[in-house]
Amino acid sequence: MRRTTALRAALLVAAFTLACGEPTSPLGLVGTYTLQSVNAMPLPFVLAHVGSTKVEVLDDLLMLASSSNYSSVGHKRYTTDGLVTEVAPVDAGTFTRRGAALMMQSLLVGRWEGTVDGNTLTLVQSGYMLVYRR
């Protein structure tokens, strides 16, 4: 409950800043960010475990470009009845920064938001809090 309240507060601040602030140059964000945790848990992170099927996030890289475009690639592991399959999903889109607030527009999952603090991006996607570091 405490984490959910903090997450909602962070999203509210980010949304307010995005709505009211002027865009900030993306140049300070350019680089490759590595996923450190999901919902404050280390990787690999169990995304789902239903019956004999388990889905884990193994890693993810988020590359931000000076053109305000981004791309990402990561690895997920699917285990069903002992059979293991790894996949490398990719995504791309655009991002906008306003102060510490960051809004990503994905070609696959739509809009996701978060904050920037130095070399750390804290993003919320589909209800999961993702922390990336450059």
Which CATH number characterizes residue 42's domain? 2.40.128.300
Q: How confident is the model at residue 27 (pLDDT cuts 50, 70, 90)?
A: confident
The pTM score is 0.82
**pLDDT score, position 18:** 46
User: CB of 14 within 8 A of CB of 21?
Assistant: no
Please tell me the distance from the alpha carbon of residue 122 to that of residue 129, in angstroms, as a whole number. Answer: 7
Q: How confident is the model at residue 61 (pLDDT cuts 50, 70, 90)?
A: very high
Please tell me the distance from the alpha carbon of residue 100 to that of residue 116, in angstroms, as a whole number. Answer: 5
Query: Which residues, including other chains, have CB under 8 Å from residue 2's CB and lie 6 or more apart?
Result: none
Mean pLDDT of the chain: 89
Helix (H, G, I), strand (E, B) or coil at 36: strand
Q: Which residue has the higher pLDDT, 79 or 8?
A: 79
pLDDT greater than 50 at residue 56:
yes
CA angle 87, 89, 90 (to 5 degrees): 150
Give residue-wise pLDDT tens across range 85-127.
Answer: 999 999 999 999 999 999 999 999 999 999 999 999 999 999 9
User: Beta partners for 50?
Assistant: 53
**pLDDT score, position 128:** 96
- Quote the domain boundaries for residue 44: 2-133
How many domains does one find in the chain? Answer: 1
What's the average model confidence in pLDDT over 44-62?
97
Q: Which residue has the higher pLDDT, 22 or 58?
A: 58
